[in-house]
Amino acid sequence: MISNSNEIGKFGQISLVWLSIIFGAVWVVCWLVGIALPALLQSSYCSGLGTSAEMVSEICKAVVPAIALLVFIPINAMFMVLFERRGLALFTMRRGPCRVGPDGFLQTAADAVKLLFKEDITPRGADNAMFTLAPIIFFAPSVFGGLPLLAAVTNNHELFQVTNLPTGIFFILAASSIPTIGIVMGGWASNNKYSLVGGLRSAAQAISYELPLVLSLVTICVLSQSLDVVKIANQQQGGILNWNIFGGGALSGVDKFIAAGIMGHQGDAGTILAQYYPDGVWSILATIVLVACCIMLCGVYLTGACAEINRIPFDLPEAESELVSGYNTEYSGIKFAIFFLAEFTNLFIVSSIAVVMFFGAGDNPIPTWVLNFFWPAFSSAVVTFFTTTPGLSAVTAFVQSLHIINPETFFAALWVIAKVYTWVFIAILVRGTLPRFRIDQLMDFGWKRLVPLTLLLFILVVFAREAVVCHG
């Protein structure tokens, strides 16, 4: 047994370095393809190309979201494997990976290289075409399914506006249902009884838990009166009391009431309460019901999401103690690496959906009326420091001229990163804490508890929101 204080410090340092590498690399690639290259094509150096330069420039801007995901997914998966292993080591008072690189910093990179060079074996009697296609079908939705989220988590940055779909959440849900087909294909094509049982379990589990998961998100869409993830994220601006987890703006009146009292505008308090809670006691009761329902909907979503991506305690399709490794028992080399890559990417995507739909996306959790006390003066001082200091002013002007950093997107992205990886960490904590369900317990919990509960919450939210003045 070791002291955890030193390991927590190492864990934090490794996480910060990895996150800087991940998002630094993604932004550099996006800037080069979406801003620098189009600017070069439209400059005097390429003036002779005419319409060809404009066409190539538009193509570059259009492919930025796909390139961003293709760069992000493999690097992030390597980090998340290390993040999980170090996190589990913290919970169980162990060191975790500490051999390859400083404090195990390069352990998962070494594991990835090892997997890529291992022999790719196809078992005798397997269906070669389906056996090869299964990991591709399992992984592909991770690339295109997360596209609509890019606009929401970057505060609708111009490079990602092309992914802002009017029905973004339905696109994400449609994409999230495809990986189950890949699991069933892999289980059947492997010519292995353990793999087949794992694939069948995955199909049953997906049918059982996709219903409450979709219903929980549809209920939030009804509350927000939109299917656009960018609009849903924007409706939660203004601090934690405006987030969907607290009723999607049902507590906006409370937020403004507190602000009026602190600012000394006591005469406005009654007007604010009458505006946001017009029916008096009934509006207040409806607000309480709405907040309670949204908190439970968040819990239902997180439970269903864990089941959809086969995380403990819902990892019945793999179940090492029963099925060796379930649907991917016969896979090795790069095919196994693709399954592994998709699993951790799906964990990141479902955490991102939770942050966008329930936790305010890139919004600062501190209420606006609290920020007003110190943020204007602080931001003004920072700007003055960077623009007047002799050495930094030239660097600041250079960065601004290249459009490298957009402050609105930058701070929103920082909050999204913090929130998403917080939920990833909680998922790791759940894995290190809870035992696996039995298959009969899994099905009973989904059909007899979560589905009826989500239907009840949907009905309560529909009626409660009519008595409360919400965003949207």
Residue 151: its pLDDT value, please? Answer: 87
- Rg (the chain; Cα; Å): 25
Question: Do the domain assignments include residue 127?
Answer: no
Q: Please tell me whether residues 104 and 228 are part of one structural domain.
A: no
Q: Residues 169, 204: contact at Cβ < 8 Å?
A: no
Q: Is 449 part of any domain?
A: yes
Is residue 299 predicted with pLDDT exceeding 70? Answer: yes
Mean pLDDT of 45-70: 76
Q: What is the tens place of the pLDDT at every residue in 102-131?
A: 888 888 888 888 888 888 888 888 888 888
Q: Is residue 140 part of a domain?
A: no
Q: Provide the residue range defining the domain that includes 17.
A: 1-112
Q: Which residue has the higher pLDDT, 267 or 318?
A: 318
Residue 151 inside a domain? The answer is no
End-to-end, the C-alpha distance of the chain in Å comes to 53
Residue 175 has pLDDT above 70, yes or no: yes
Does the residue 330 lie in any domain? no
**Among the listed residues 62, 28, 31, 55, the one whose alpha carbon sits nearest the alpha carbon of residue 41:** 55
Query: Is residue 218 domain-resident?
Result: yes
For residue 317 the two structure tokens come to 């399709």
- The yes-or-no verdict on residue 262 having pLDDT over 70 is no
Q: What is the 3-state secondary structure (H, E, C) of the chain?
A: CCCHHHHHHHHHHHHHHHHHHHHHHHHHHHHHHHHHHHHHHCCHHHHHHCHHHHHHHHHHHHHHHHHHHHHHHHHHHHHHHHHHHHHHHHHCCCCCCCCCCHHHCCHHHHHHHHHHHCCCCCCCCCCHHHHHHHHHHHHHHHHHCCHHHHHHHCCCCHHHHHHCCCCHHHHHHHHHCCHHHHHHHHHHHCCCHHHHHHHHHHHHHHHHHHHHHHHHHHHHHHHHCCCCHHHHHHCCCCCHHHCHHHCCCCCHHHHHHHHHHHCCCCHHHHHHHHHHCCCCHHHHHHHHHHHHHHHHHHHHHHHHHHHHCCCCCCCCCCCHHHHCCHHHCCCCHHHHHHHHHHHHHHHHHHHHHHHHHHCCCCCCCCCHHHHHHHHHHHHHHHHHHHHHCHHHHHHHHHHHHHCCCCHHHHHHHHHHHHHHHHHHHHHHHHHCCCCCCCHHHHHHHHHHHHHHHHHHHHHHHHHHHHHCCCCC
| Mean pLDDT comparison of 75-84, 187-196, 463-472, highest-scoring range | 75-84
My answer on whether 71 and 197 are in the same domain is: no
* Span 37-41, average pLDDT: 77
Residue 319 and residue 208 share a domain: yes
Give the residue-averaged pLDDT of 235-245. 87
Residue 188 has pLDDT above 60, yes or no: yes
Distance from C-alpha of 406 to C-alpha of 154, rounded to nearest angstrom: 10
Looking at residue 221, what is its pLDDT? 92
Question: Across residues 180-189, what is the average pLDDT?
Answer: 86
Paired tokens of 292? 């309670």
**Over the stretch 320-370, which tens digit does the pLDDT of each residue have?**
777 777 788 888 888 888 888 888 888 999 999 999 999 988 888 888 777
pLDDT at 386: 65
Domain end, chosen from 95, 112, 129, is at 112
Whether residue 20 lies inside any domain: the answer is yes
Whether residue 101 sits in one domain with residue 6 = yes
The percentage of residues in the chain with a pLDDT greater than 90, rounded to a whole number, is 15
Amino acid at 361: A
Q: How far apart are CA 455 and CA 211, in angstroms?
A: 10
- What's the average model confidence in pLDDT over 165-193? 86
Q: What is the mean pLDDT of residues 372-390?
A: 72
Q: Omega into 278 within 30° of 0, i.e. cis?
A: no
According to the model, what pLDDT value does residue 472 have? Answer: 39
Q: What is the pLDDT of residue 454?
A: 94
Confidence of residue 99 (pLDDT cuts 50, 70, 90): confident
Q: What does the pLDDT average to over 293-311?
A: 90
Of the three residues 49, 83, 112, the one that is the final residue of a domain is 112
Predicted pLDDT at 269: 63
Whole-number pLDDT of residue 87: 87
pLDDT at 112: 85
| pLDDT band per the 50, 70, 90 thresholds, residue 214 | very high
How many structural domains compose the chain? 2
Cβ atoms of 128 and 122 within 8 Å: the answer is yes
Average pLDDT over residues 405-430: 87
Section 182-200 average pLDDT: 85
pLDDT mean across residues, the chain: 83
Residues in the chain: 472
CB 390 within 8 A of CB 451: no
| 308 compared with 297, residue with greater pLDDT | 297
Residue 55 pLDDT > 50: yes
Residues 359, 239: one domain?
yes
For residues 72 and 196, membership in a common domain is answered with no
Q: Which of 155-169, 194-208, 419-433 has the highest mean pLDDT?
A: 419-433
**Does 58 score more than 70 pLDDT?**
yes
Weakest mean pLDDT among 66-80, 277-291, 390-404: 390-404
Residue 135 lies in a domain: no
Question: Do both 204 and 98 map to the same domain?
Answer: no
Picking from 97, 112, 127, the residue at the C-terminal end of a domain is 112
User: Quick check: 243 and 359 in contact, CB under 8 A?
Assistant: yes
| 73 and 195 fall within a common domain | no
Tokens representing 112? 């990835």
CA gap 281, 270 in Å, rounded: 14
pLDDT at 395: 66
Mark whether 247 and 372 lie in a shared domain.
yes
422-464 pLDDT, tens digit per residue, is 999 999 988 888 888 888 888 888 898 999 999 999 999 988 8
